[in-house]
Amino acid sequence: MPNTNVLVPIASGQIDVQTELGGFAIRYTIRFTELLILSLLASVALAFALHSNISNATAVSVFVSLLPLIWLFGGNVVIALYRFPRLLRRAAETANAV
């Protein structure tokens, strides 16, 4: 079953539809504030867990503690930036067909 909820990682944003010659243009801004905060908290928690037993932070342990940020935040942002414009395009096409 595919995940069809494109808006899950998006915290807020604004969509503007403007008429132009021969049609319209859709401009938008989206924010991922809550996703960033949760990803940072996960990275900090993992960093504390890793560094509580190690006296010195190594490059590997620093990289491992950044994995939640890279995976959770980066991955979801990349997917949303790919899927959100497609969602708007399909909605506009559906509105034109009606």
Kindly report, residue by residue over 19-56, the tens digit of the pLDDT: 888 888 999 999 999 999 999 999 988 888 877 766 66
Residues whose CB is less than 8 angstroms from the CB of residue 69 and which lie 6 or more positions away in sequence, other chains included: 39, 40, 42, 43
Cα–Cα dist 30/42, whole Å: 22
Predicted pLDDT at 57: 64
- What's the one-letter identity of residue 57? A
pLDDT recorded at residue 3: 65
**Tokens coding 65:** 């503690």
Tell how strand 23-31 and strand 12-20 pair up. antiparallel
Q: What is the pTM of this model?
A: 0.79
pLDDT of 65 > 90? The answer is: no
